[in-house]
Structures are given as C-alpha cells and as structure tokens.
A and B are shown apart, each in its own frame.
Chain A
C-alpha cells in the first residue's frame, strides 16, 4: 500500500469498523466480534506496513483539507507517532480478545455501543498519532475525549455518570481553556502549527513567554494527567476494565504524553527550550507529580484506583524525561510510553480478570489468590516488576535511558526523583505480591478458578511482551533515535 493511502486508511478503517460493528450488533454478537477482529487485524496490517518506510527515513505526509488559510487538516508520520500508532493498534487486537472474554463473562449491557465507541476511539488515536500539525492534533484529541465518554459512562448509573462528568469536564475544560489558547498563540507567533524537526518557535518568543506557553500546553493537555489536572483519571476507573486497560493505560493517557513530547520536540525544539530558563519548571512539576502520585497510590485500597495513581506517576516519567531536554532522555520518553503500556495493560487485564472470576475489587481481598489464579497473578507480578523497573522487564529499559539522559544533563533532581519513585513503587507493589503468593486466603470465600480463557490468553500475551521488550528493543530504539539524530 502507498504510505499516503495507508495514513488515511489507518483513520478511516476504525471509523468504518465502528459503523460495521454498530450494524452487525443488531444481527448477532459473534458477527460483531468478528467485525472488531477484522478491523483490528487490518488496522495492524495498515499501520505496521508503514514501519519499513519510516525505518528508511521516509516521512510520508498527506493533506486532507485546508480549512482556513494556514489551518489545514494534514497528516505526517514521524517516528514518535509511528511508535504510538503501532503500539495502540497492536494492543487493540489483544485488548479486543480480552474484551470479548470480559464483557461476556460479566454479562455487560450495551456491548454493541461499547465495541463501536472503542473503534471510534482508535480512529481518533490514529489521528492523534499521525497529526501533521497542532490543529489536526487538537481535532482528534477532542474526538478522543468525546468518543471515550460513552465508554467511561458505560454502566449508566448515577455514580458512574457523575464520574464520567468529571472525566469530560476536566478534559474538555483544560483543552478548551488552555490547550486551544496555546495553539492559537503558537499560530499567531509562528504563523504555522506544523510539526517541524527542530521546532518552529525559535526566535519567535522571548523568555518568560516560553515558559507560559509551555504551561498552557502541559496543563491544557489534561490527558497527560500532570498534577493538578489528574483528577479525571481516577474518576475514569468506573469504566469497564478493558477501557481502563487500553484507553487509560495506553491510548488516551499516552495521547497526552505523546502530544506533550511531540510539542516539545517539534514545536519548541529541544535546544531552543533547553536555552530558556523559564521552561525549567516543567521538570519540577513532573517530579512533584511522580512523587505525590506514588505517595497517594500507597494509600489506595481499591486495585484499579491504585493502578490509576500509578499511571499518573508513570505518565509524568515521560513528561519529565521529555523535559530533561537531552537526546537520550527523549528516546527514554518514547520507550517509556511502550514499556509502561505493556506493563500497565497487563496489570489492568489482571485486575479485570480477578473481577470477572471472583468479583473482588479491593487489595485486601487478594490474599492467597495466586493459588486460584496462577496464570493471571504471574502476569500481574511481571507487570508490577516492570512498574518498579526490575530486570528482565520492559520498565528497566526505559528507566535506564531516562537515567542516562538525566546524568547527561547533570540533572540531579531527575535522578533522585527516579530513585525515590522506584523505592515508592516497590513499597506499594511488593506487599501486594507478597499477599498474593504467600499469605493464606480467608476462610469461607467464594470458590473460583481462572477468568474466561480469552481474558487469560490476552493477559499472558501482554506479560510476554513486557518480558520480550527487555530483550528485543533494538528496532524501537533505532527508530526513536531518528527523532534526535543530529541533535545534542
């Protein structure tokens, strides 16, 4: 397939898939699941088909419509977006396998709406990944918020709708209130919003303004959950677990940190930003979020809420890595998106599997559950170790690069934040692992075994990916090194 066609296909395919799912849902659930699977597989085929072009240094681009003079809907594939798209499309397939097991095992209502909106959200994700300018990014960013709202509000009872309102409220008000002004400002200052290697703002803005604009971007992109814009993420945990797994560990939150990284690299330009003292605060804000969210995570009693706060901390790893503004750290930021995605989706899958099999949602209920669900909990263990950053898991690789970047920049704050948060991560994950494997189950609990086989299959796959990424990360690093080639 020609790369230009592939870009459009990556966005249109899930859109068409959503329609097919909605129509097939009226006929039979099996047909609907088939529609999801076919869409997911063809999306992988289309997106991964772009990889060779990118590896050879190609940057395919396509313009759809010039909406207003200078403001166009245009796409351009570059390594960061390629990685994000490949990651999201690949995990969507695994997540769909898991979703079928989870949703059927739980007898959820409105499954057609669920799968259709999921496909819609993927279309928006592809749009974000391939966006060629700020306007296109913003368009799909909002579409992603809107298409995931029905997924968060899926259960439909009063408490869920209230949480979904927080979700929508925070994400929309930050994006309209801060992100949009930042975009307008950029267009006014630079005359364009195209993502360009080396940035477009050099010489266009002066020092205190740079920090202010950066602030508008970072806090306006609420999806990145930099404190204090993080409240929506714990609220979104009312969604069914597959949603939390793919969207609130991969697609939505990664869209946030991806957008921030992309803006730092292609709008500001890392050298330009490095020279501006007023951009320093971002590092502190990210470090603060990492430590605070880890501390809050320690006090959580609900599994999914613990994972949500852990996600907030891990997202700020990416932001902090990007804010170190050194090539190695930028590579680390990109790799951490992948590493965290594999680990966190495994953890969420496990949490969902526990819920389907036993209806347990609290950490205290997990005593001795390892004997009943050995596969699930083994995968959970791998995911948790990856969060801490223990070899041989994916989390180790990305922390290595971020640390290397921090040392390169002589940035002791980043170094100590990483060390501190590793200790905190260990402090809240290891006791859980101990409970799961070595403590005795309370008497009189419900008899149960593993979750439905599709769910277990999916979570074993992602656990394998978490381990595999430790060994086979070469191509990813090679691809992402292109981003910073010739810099620093």
Chain B
C-alpha cells in the first residue's frame, strides 16, 4: 500500500482518531506530548501534500475507493495546500509553545479532554479544507465549531461562557444558513459534490432557488468568517479564551470559513450564473471596505490588548475579502497571500500576548507599564509582528499589501480609491499598534516593585521568536507562499470561467 497516495485522507483521520486516544493519556504532560506529536505529524502531511501540488496539479481522493457521486471525495489543490499549511502550522506552533501557558490556565485533570478537543478542532478545520462535497464541509464545520466552543470556554475566565454562548448562537445560525443553501442546491441539482454541482447548475432552468441558495451560503459563511458586520462574536470570544486557544483560532479558524466562501463562490456559482461575479463583488466589496475602516477605527480606541487585536483581525478579514471581491487572478492571489501572512503576524502577536500574560494578569493597555524591561524579548517579538501587521516593507505583511494595491490599481477606475482605503487603514494600524508599543515601552509600571527581567518560559518564548523571525523571512523570501497563492488564484479563476 502506498502511504503517499492516502495523504489527503490521513490529513483528516490522524488528528480525528488520535483525539479520543488523547483522553486516555492521564499522566502529567503526556496528553500535551501526544497532541503535539499529532499536530507535528499533521503539519508534516500538509507539507508533503504541498510539495505534491506545488506544480499546480490537483490531487483527487475517493474514500474507500468509492467514486465521487457515491463515496466521500477529497481534493487537494494549491489553495487547499496553502490553507492546510496555515491551519496545521498554527496548530503546531501553538501546541509547541502551549504547555507552560496551558498548565497555568487549565487544571491538570481536564487537560487530556482539552487537548482532545484541540485535535478535534484541528481535524475539523483540515476536513473543511480537503472535503470536496458541500455536505461534508458542513459536517467538518460542525465538528470544528463544537470543539472550539469547548476550547474557548475551557479557560479560567468565566466571562468566556457568555462569549462562547454568543459565538454558539451566531455560529449555529451561520451553519444553518449554509445548510439551507446547500439543501436548495441539492434540490435543484441532485448532487452535493462541488464539481458536479458546478457542472449541473448550468442546466437548472428555474434559477431563483439557486440565487437564494447563493445568498444563504454566502451569508452563512460570512457569519462564520466574521465578515463585518457579522463579526460581533469575535472580540469577546478571542479576548476571554485561553491565550493559546486565541493563538490557534485567531490564526486560522475564521480564515477557513472564508476559504470555503471563496471556493464555493468561484468554483460553483460564478461559472454558470450570469453576472454572479458582479453580484459577489457588489456584495463583498462594500462589506470589506467597511470592515477595514470601521474595525480599524474601533481598534484605535480599544483599551484591552486582546480585544484590540481581535478588532484588527476583523479588519484583516476585510483585506482578504477585498482581494477576492476584485474577481481577478492578482486579487485572489493577494487574498491567498494575505491569508498566509496575516496568520503569521496575528499568530505571532497573540503568542507574544500569551508571554505577556505571564507577568500581567490584566491585559488592559494602561496596566502594561514596564513590560519592555521585564520582558525585552517578548516585546521585541511583538514589535516585529506588529510591523508585519502594519505592512512595513521587509515584513510578510508588506507583500500582501503590495499585491492588494496592485490588484486594486488593475481593477479599474475606482482603483485609486481602493488604494487610498488600504493606505489609510495602514496608517490606522500604525496608530493602534503604536499605542501598544508605547504602553509596553514607556508607561510606568503600575505597581512600585523592582523591575527585573523575568521572561516567559523558554519554550513559549522560542516559538514566539521563531514566528517573529518568520515574519521577516517571508517578507524577504516570499516565493513559496506566493507560488501557492498564484496557482490557487489561477485555479479559482479558471473554475470561474
């Protein structure tokens, strides 16, 4: 049996089947070690899948040898590979760094359950990415969502409970909308497989149910992806979740829904529905622009570190959507690159936050005085990732902004307006990142105790530093993510033809 041929299935199955086993690993630290090993293995699988699709081909896989309309089909192309890298990479980095932070926040007895839920989230998210039919996407979405409710509410912060309840309600509405949409399409086409759907939608005579379905699916996924103004669940959920969970989810969870949104729209709807690309652009672009501006403005005035970064995430989702709404190869390429780069930047920032949480129970900005003396390395890593978020040249963030600006300029007469919006929001990012920098470096410590250097545990710090360095590395040598993004964009646009 050739193991390599089964990689798409293993990508999902390995974390999913390990999850119940982790529960059994009660002795101290074993659950963490097990979960981390599984995450590493998933990452390795994602890397080898990436290598296999780097030349632009698509891997199709039929579960159990049952061909597509009857069995469960999986498919991996450049776009999914990029997404797999982001998801498994974020999970691996977070888990590698997580032990000290999790030990502090989750009591020992519940840790195996916690790590088990973590792996379920992981398998759900990668499942969404590789699934080739609409219904399995829904199933994996539910798996990842339900498990992530557990993760978010799993910490010591009781305020996470109302936050997660809000997330649960909104998430369920989103998933239901999606399911309604899929049901309508199934009614009209008689298939759940995305490729078949695309082929048959053109034959549908009565087009209205399909249009309604497109609306339901887009809104439902936008809810899950925290597209403005459907983002209200994000700030609280990110703020009150355990710090390492925030790292993991902020880096990839909403992006996976956005991935499905983009894929569904380009692969299924745009090819056969007349003028659907215009409808999509008209729907997505205003929301993207509003999201970028409003969420950045909110972040400028936010006083809590994690909530500020969460608001910024909503704005960054706006960038990704903006690129996709331009309906062009370069726009999609900018979107896909930004998926990757923003995961790097925001993951790094939240890792640094987890480090800061070691010294500061209260993460409001005015409480963070003296951080640069206590934790010089953490603060340095924070600044680097912050610069990447702003999009300073030499960091990963600049690459995607540059692509996005290019895409905007090539999009037509309103291009310069979009450029202005991107630049203005970059300046807003300068403001909100610099508020944090000033708090870290220049505020006086709140308590009058002696300032000594006392960094976060080495394990956490090393990963944080590594992610910060990656932010610079991918700013100077962005070839790999760029290549994936370019062939992803080419595939999507081809699908839309």
Residues of A within 8 A of B (CB): 64-65, 67-68, 71, 73, 135, 138-139, 142-143, 146, 150, 153, 156, 161, 165, 168-169, 172-173, 176-177, 180-181, 184, 188
Contact = CB atoms under 8 A, between A and B. Distances in A.
A68 B477 contact: no
A176 B429 CA distance: 11
Nearest to B392: A142
Contacts of B38: none
Contacts of B478: 67-68
B165 to A, nearest CB: 40
B482 interface: yes
27 contacts: A64-B476, A67-B475, A67-B477, A67-B478, A68-B399, A68-B403, A71-B402, A73-B476, A138-B393, A139-B393, A139-B394, A142-B393, A142-B394, A150-B441, A161-B442, A165-B434, A165-B438, A168-B434, A172-B427, A172-B430, A176-B426, A176-B427, A177-B423, A177-B427, A180-B423, A184-B419, A188-B409
Given A68-B402, A165-B434, A181 B394 contact: no
B172 interface: no
Given A173-B427, A176-B427, A156 B442 contact: yes
A235 to B, nearest CB: 15
Interface in B401-442: 402-403, 405-406, 409, 419, 423-424, 426-427, 430, 434, 438, 441-442
A146 B427 CA distance: 14
* A interface SS class: helix
Nearest to A180: B423
B387 interface: yes
Given A142-B392, A142-B393, A184-B405, A65 B476 contact: yes
A64 B475 CA distance: 13
A65 B473 CA distance: 11
Contacts of B424: 177
Contact of B419 (A165, A168, A169, A181): A181
Given A184-B402, A184-B406, 5 more contacts: A68-B402, A68-B478, A135-B393, A173-B427, A177-B424
Contacts of A165: 434, 438
Closest A-B pairs by Cβ, 10 of them: A139-B393, A161-B442, A139-B394, A156-B442, A142-B392, A65-B476, A176-B426, A172-B430, A173-B427, A138-B393
Contacts of B387: 146
Interface of B: 387, 392-394, 399, 402-403, 405-406, 409, 419, 423-424, 426-427, 430, 434, 438, 441-442, 475-478, 482
A143 B430 contact: no
A156 B439 CA distance: 11
* B interface SS class: helix
Contacts of B405: 184
A235 B441 CA distance: 19
Q: Which of A73, A139, A173, A180 has the most CB of B within 10 A?
A: A180
Q: Which of A146, A165, A177, A184 has the most CB of B within 10 A?
A: A184
B473 to A, nearest CB: 10
B62 to A, nearest CB: 38
Contacts of A146: 387, 392
Contacts of A71: 402
B443 to A, nearest CB: 9
Nearest to A66: B479
Contacts of B419: 181, 184
Nearest to A69: B482
B399 A176 contact: no
A439 B289 CA distance: 65
Contacts of A64: 476
Nearest to A139: B393
B141 to A, nearest CB: 34
A176 B394 contact: no
Contacts of B426: 176
Contacts of B430: 168-169, 172-173, 176
Nearest to B402: A68
Contacts of A135: 393
A71 B401 CA distance: 14
B442 A176 contact: no
Contacts of A172: 427, 430
A180 to B, nearest CB: 7
A73 B476 CA distance: 8
Nearest to B416: A181
A153 B423 contact: no
B476 A67 contact: yes
A440 B218 CA distance: 82
Contacts of B403: 68
A147 to B, nearest CB: 11
A103 B399 CA distance: 40
B120 to A, nearest CB: 38
B383 to A, nearest CB: 8
Contacts of A181: 419, 423
A142 B390 CA distance: 12
Nearest to A136: B393
Contact of A67 (B399, B409, B427): B399
A181 B392 CA distance: 14
Contacts of B393: 135, 138-139, 142
B300 to A, nearest CB: 13
B261 to A, nearest CB: 26
A184 B409 contact: yes
Contacts of A176: 423, 426-427, 430
Nearest to A22: B376
A429 B451 CA distance: 46
A135 B426 CA distance: 18
Contacts of B423: 176-177, 180-181
A176 B424 CA distance: 9
A172 B387 CA distance: 12
